[in-house]
Structure 1
Amino acid sequence: METQKLHRGRLIDHIQLVVQDLAASHNFYAAILSALHVPLGGTGDGYFWADELFVTSATSPAALGVLTGRHHLAFQAKDRAMVEHFYQVALAHGGQDNGAPGERPYHPGYYAAFVLDPDGNNIEAVFHGDAQRSADSVVISF
């Protein structure tokens, strides 16, 4: 098994999605993550992973035969063009539109696109505008 670098100080250590059709999910996630310049970390019998996202089939021992519910995952993009590219790639690889690229009211400069993955998870690519370029962290108010 491959090893990963441990990143201390993150809020989330890892996320597991349990999907119905691993091949369809692999096709979708490999494409959108590539559009976001995130390489797949590896694959195995019944799973694949990238960074801290693990995607498994329901038959994987880690899944215990239960699909995860609907989730919302937001991936950071380096600019608006990357958000737009993510959206087009997602639609071409089994994603469904859930919000075309555009400004959102969450804070000034919040530019995002939303798609549903093959299992109905709400997947977002977001660029936080000038705040993202000028700081390592951004305070967001909801």
Structure 2
Amino acid sequence: METLEIYRGRLIDHIQLVVRDLAAAERFYTALLDVLGVPLGGRGEGFFWADELVVSSADSPAAQGELTGRQHIAFQAADSEQVERCYRAALANGGTDNGGPADREYHPGYYAAFVLDPDGNNIEVVYHGEAKRSASSVHITFDAD
């Protein structure tokens, strides 16, 4: 059997979504990320962030007055039960069903659910099946000089 390897943490530095209703987006993403065990990293004038995701209002300086178009973002889950909990939390906090939790044909063990966030972005939560990770996450520390 051929070994399938995937690499994470090398391609995307961050993603910014510019939304119509920042409060609705924060409610949605906070609920979803809470199930994943990812805390909000912080808030600023017209934005909030968690890990590599930045969500801002159109009037925030970084947005330059433009909403982002429909995006597809996939969050990694630790197991299929976490996929299901995320799906329920997303629906309970302003999300709309876009494909309930189920096995998908993308590769063996791919279990995912899809919801639309309050701005219509296609948000996926996926469990890739049993696998060994070289590390649970990447921890980056900056020296304060």
Name the TM tier (shorter chain): 0.7 to 0.9
- Length-normalised TM-score, structure 2: 0.85
Q: Please list, as runs of the form range in 1=range in 2, the aligned pairs for 1:1-142 lying within 5 A after superposition.
A: 10-130=10-130, 133-136=131-134
* CA distance in structure 2 between the aligned counterparts of 1:135 and 1:92, rounded to whole angstroms: 31
For the residue of structure 1 that corresponds to 2:23, the secondary structure is helix
Q: Which one-letter code corresponds to 2:132 in the other structure? A: S
Task: Provide structure 2 residue ranges, at least 5 long, that are not aligned to the other structure.
Answer: 1-8, 136-145
Q: Quote how far apart the aligned CAs of 1:136 are.
A: 4.2
Give the root-mean-square deviation of aligned CA atoms.
1.2
Partners of 1:135 and 1:42 lie apart in 2 by: 28
Q: Hey, what's the Cα distance between the residues in 2 that align with 1:136 and 1:90?
A: 29
1:136 & 1:68 partners in 2: Cα distance? 34
Distance 1:76 1:107 in 2: 15
Work out the CA distance in 1 between the residues paired with 2:127 and 2:134.
13
Distance 1:102 1:31, change over 3 A: same
- Provide TM-score, normalisation by structure 1: 0.87
Structure 1: distance between partners of 2:132 and 2:61: 43
Q: How many residues matched?
A: 127
Q: Which runs of 4+ in 1 moved over 4 A?
A: none
